Amino acid sequence: MSRIGKLPITIPENVDINYSNSEITVKGKFGILQTQIPDPIGIQQDKSILKVSLKNEARNLRSLHGLYRTLINNMIIGVSEQFQITLILKGVGYRAVIQGKEIILNLGYSHPVKINIPDNISIEVVQNTTINLKSCDKEKLGLFASNLRAWRRPEPYKGKGILYKDEQIIRKAGKAGK
């Protein structure tokens, strides 16, 4: 039995959970999320506690036990509190601007980079160099943040690029460091 999978999930008061036909739907103040659950995984709900269990103890199903417990927990946290990622633009002339449903990044290229913002993600730009991303879906939020970051990964010599908040870059000595 999975150590993570056997932990109970506490359900906040403002979250509704519906489970039917191997699909779970979680509704909260920040949105609605749903996902498919494989047949060997069972869900029991008692008032404000949700338990994920296995109907069959096969070896390959034990890893799914912890995975789906974590996915359901992330869905519940997302619709009740939202997830947030902060990106910092570090470099001379690096800045971000939101125009309509696009974010425009100036990252030292000869052209500005225009990226469409997905519907379920909200973006706030603070002081032109700090980007706050918020969403109830942790997976899509992380994927969008990594796609933004892929335009300028942090480099180890000058420390320029798009960084996550609190990220430490291990700096290298350049030519003069011999």
The lowest-confidence range among 3-7, 31-35, 147-151, 170-174 is: 3-7
Where exactly does CATH 3.90.930.12 map onto the chain?
9-80, 83-166
CATH class label, 9-80: alpha beta
Mode of pairing for the β-strands spanning 130-135 and 121-126 = antiparallel
CATH class label, 83-166: alpha beta
Q: Is the pLDDT of residue 1 over 70?
A: no
pTM: 0.89
pLDDT of 104: 96
CB atoms near residue 39 (< 10 Å) = 8
Q: 73-119 pLDDT, tens per residue? A: 999 999 999 999 999 999 999 999 999 999 999 999 999 999 999 99
Q: 24-68 pLDDT, tens per residue? A: 999 999 999 999 998 888 888 888 898 888 887 777 777 788 899
Write phi, then psi, for 8 (nearest 5 degrees). -75, 155
